[in-house]
Amino acid sequence: MSNIASKEEVLAAEMYFRAAFPVMKIPLTEDPKQVAAFEKVNAVVQFTAADDEHPMACHIVFLTAEKAAEYTAAAREKDPDAKETPRFKVYQGEYDFRYEGVEFVNLGFKSIKSLLGVFKGNSPLEMLGIVAPLLKNIFKKSTLKFLFLMLTLTKMMPNNNPGVDEPWEQYLKVKMSLYMITTAMSQANKLGWEPLSRWMEKQTDRIYQFKVGATHDALGKEIYPPISAYLRVKAGKSKAGRGEYTRKRPFVLFDFPNPDGCLAVLSGRYEFVEAATKGCITVVGAGDSYAVQFNNLMTQLQNMLIPSKFVK
């Protein structure tokens, strides 16, 4: 019996590996619980999915500050200009065992469909696909720590809707979501997802900027900083970035007053146009048609990564 994933299944898996996994860096560096949990962890967690035509693999590296400094020093002995070794990074492809004294957790899936069943969670039965890979690694110290970190990705799911009385959860969801979707759009374009590639190929050098105002407490004091992310498009090429793009004015600026306003759009509380009329978002720059087209493509891509019950 053949084991061949569809093009859409392959793309969805690629989006998890290339766009969703990297945003784990946000809770890993900003959530005190996750910072403490990984302070002394040196580990590599690998995901593989078998497929007759497109077998997939990626691995995630976690290093302590001491281990990262050790490898940075070794690299700079050979090349003084060598970059600093990151404590956290997602790499595409199988792990090459370059690090010594690092625990290896290998989560292997029998198919891409099985992998997506766990990530998307369309049904409890599909989600049980994680059991076998976990059992093979259950006695490794970093396995459960990683599992709890990976569960933070569920904060981006449509059914996770923190209210204004949960400012930390709102901040975290918005930052993770914007970082993920801008990266996903750039990666989907590079991987040849036709609806997006067609839309981008005729565009001149344009910046699509997201800007979310700071979170304030009841007394007006800032408790969490503003959030910004952007997507740059030029003649079919694309690049996602963090923060504000400062070299030129945005072609389209999606300006949200605060995380709650952003969540009104991300969660589907209001349709895009209705959200604008209610002051949840201000679109600055190009004509409304570009903003709506961008939002529609963003929604299509997001729908590949969430359980089908949430897709309208």
**How many CB atoms neighbour CB 181 within 10 A?**
25
Does pLDDT of 285 surpass 90? no
Structure tokens given for 80: 């003084």
Helix (H, G, I), strand (E, B), or coil: what is residue 107?
A: strand
CATH topology of domain 167-310: Nonspecific Lipid-transfer Protein; Chain A (3.30.1050)
Q: Report pLDDT for 287.
A: 59
Q: Are 165 and 215 in contact (CB under 8 A)?
A: no
Helix (H, G, I), strand (E, B), or coil: what is residue 165?
A: coil
Structure tokens given for 79: 């090349």
Q: Which residue has the tokens 């969805």?
A: 12
Tens of pLDDT, residue by residue over 222-235, are: 999 999 999 999 99
Of residues 288 and 200, which shows the higher confidence score?
A: 200
Tens of pLDDT, residue by residue over 256-282, are: 999 999 999 888 788 877 888 888 999
Q: Are 57 and 93 in contact (CB under 8 A)?
A: yes
Q: How confident is the model at residue 47 (pLDDT cuts 50, 70, 90)?
A: very high
Inter-CA distances, 208 with 159, 225, 275, Å: 27, 21, 18
Q: Report pLDDT for 155.
A: 94
Structure tokens given for 60: 């995630």
Each domain of the chain, given as residue ranges in start order, spans 7-156, 167-310
Predicted TM-score of the model (pTM): 0.94
Q: Report pLDDT for 61.
A: 98
